[in-house]
């Protein structure tokens, strides 16, 4: 399948679908409103190079997935920045490389801005995916939460 990756600035009509997917996947059950998440997504759609959201779409313009690069995604670890956050690929488009492409493009952009490391956190059930992609686990069971923190160094990507 052919697809391309755009910044949200270049594809603003995907803001609402991204906000809805992110809200459904991670924020709704914690009591956040969709409009609050939409505001966060909107904050990544500026002409500044950071923060940013990338969107993968196919030739017909169908949304395949997205990922964001943000300052902080884990309040308990303010020393880690920037973060890869909100990686989402539509279920019917998984396992064809969309996530890998989004991650690679985001890392390239963040490293080009001068960041030496990028961080993410994930649940243990998907940690193997990130380790296969070259991410290094920094912390396990963070503050009693069932999450792991990973990092990726720029020299791996260059």
* DSSP, res 76: T
pTM of the predicted model over 0.75: yes
What architecture does CATH give domain 3-115?
3-Layer(aba) Sandwich (3.40)
Please give the angle made by the CA atoms of 58, 60 and 61, to the nearest 5 degrees. 65
pLDDT at residue 158, rounded to an integer: 41
Residue 155 pLDDT class (50, 70, 90 cuts): confident
pLDDT at residue 1, rounded to an integer: 79
- Model pLDDT for residues 31-84, shown as the tens digit of each residue: 999 999 999 999 999 999 999 999 999 999 999 999 999 999 998 899 999 999
Give the Cα separation of 60 and 43 in Å (integer).
Answer: 26
Contact 67, 52 (CB under 8 A): no
Domain range summary for the chain, segments of one domain joined by +:
3-115
């Amino acid at each position: 399948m052919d697809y391309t990756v755009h910044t949200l600035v270049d594809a603003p009509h995907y803001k609402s679908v991204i906000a809805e997917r992110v809200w459904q996947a991670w924020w709704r059950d914690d009591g956040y409103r969709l409009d609050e998440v939409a505001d966060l997504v909107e904050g990544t759609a500026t002409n500044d190079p950071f923060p940013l959201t990338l969107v993968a779409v196919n030739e017909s313009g169908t949304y395949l997935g997205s990922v964001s690069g943000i300052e902080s995604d884990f309040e308990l670890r303010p020393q880690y920045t920037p973060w890869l956050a909100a990686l989402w690929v539509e279920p019917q488009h998984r396992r064809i490389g969309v996530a890998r492409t989004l991650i690679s493009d985001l890392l390239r952009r963040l490293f080009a801005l001068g960041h030496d490391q990028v961080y993410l956190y994930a649940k243990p059930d998907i940690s193997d995916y990130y380790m296969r992609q070259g991410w290094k686990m920094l912390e396990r069971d963070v503050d009693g939460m069932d999450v792991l923190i990973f990092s990726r160094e720029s020299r791996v990507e260059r």
